[in-house]
Amino acid sequence: MPKLWTRRSERLQKKLSWICKHTLMSNQDTPYWITTFLEETSKTVGFKDFKREIAVNGHLLVPSGPHSAKIYTAELALILTSPALVGEHRDLKNPIELNCQEYLNTYIEAFTEGERYFETEFKASPEVLYGANQKQYIQDVHNNYFHIQHHPGKEGWSYVKHQYPFILTHEAMETFGYYSGVVSKVDELVERHPQLFANFNECSGDEPPGNAESHRTTTENREALRVFQRPMSSQTQDHLKRRRLQEVD
């Protein structure tokens, strides 16, 4: 690849990232505290129904237009589907009504990106699943799913099954949606190959916590497995933010 093209591409990405970041911070992505909303709605029948369905199915499937996404906690399901969603801004005295559909759209788009990421970077051929690299591949997926910090303070992709945001922003919905999409693809893979992944959920305690960089495999193994242990790329984040800006305009 020509160096000149690479430098131009890098400068363009940095410029787009800066524009999106500062535009969203100033205009489009106001943070809202939703702790009061969560406390009040956690006592409702709807919350109990969500919790029951997730306990049975492992997730709540939410359609929106031609797309759908899985949600893994009852709290997040309330945030993204409640017509009575309200949040508190630090500069306002009274709670403000929020449009849950806007946040759901952000979540679903990021969910789709997360699914695409796993299919592109982690999907294994039968030769890998049933070949000499089988154990290494399963261990890599296990470490990413349970142990590696892809997002600051969050251990493994699967943190989305146990956590939910207290401060609502589109950026938070992008992050939760993205890793939920990755988790969905991992769960589908495990379900398709129950014998190969029989011990997938067992953690030996020998897996040291850390970020994606500290768990990189050798170049040879990464090439063989097509595994690149990384979080949501800056390009993906910029793409999602540009799409949201276009919808607002």
Strand partners, 71: 60
What is the Cα–Cα distance from 102 to 85, expressed in whole angstroms? 11
Where along the chain do its domains lie?
30-248
CB 21 within 8 A of CB 171: no
What is the residue-averaged pLDDT of the chain?
A: 80
Q: Is 115 helix (H, G, I), strand (E, B) or coil?
A: helix
Q: What is the pTM of this model?
A: 0.75
Q: Given pLDDT bands bounded at 50, 70 and 90, which one contains residue 215?
A: very low
The encoded tokens of residue 27 equal: 């205009």
Closest CA to 208 of 148, 142, 151, 157: 148
Which pLDDT tens digit goes with each residue over 149-182?
A: 988 888 999 999 999 999 999 999 999 999 999 9
The encoded tokens of residue 85 equal: 């969603």
Mean pLDDT of 32-37: 94
Mean pLDDT of 242-247: 56
Around Cβ 92, how many Cβ atoms within 10 Å?
A: 11
Phi-psi region of 224 (alpha: psi -120 to 50; beta: other; left: phi over 0): alpha
Q: At residue 210, what are phi and psi to the nearest 5 degrees?
A: 165, 180
Residue 5 pLDDT greater than 60, yes or no: no
pLDDT given at position 82: 95
CB 69 within 8 A of CB 177: yes
Give strand ranges (E) for 21-79.
32-33, 60-64, 67-71
Mean pLDDT of 65-74: 92
- Cβ contacts of 181 within 8 Å, gap of 6 or more: 69, 110, 111, 112, 113, 114, 115, 116, 117, 118
Q: Which residue's structure tokens are 């943190």?
A: 159
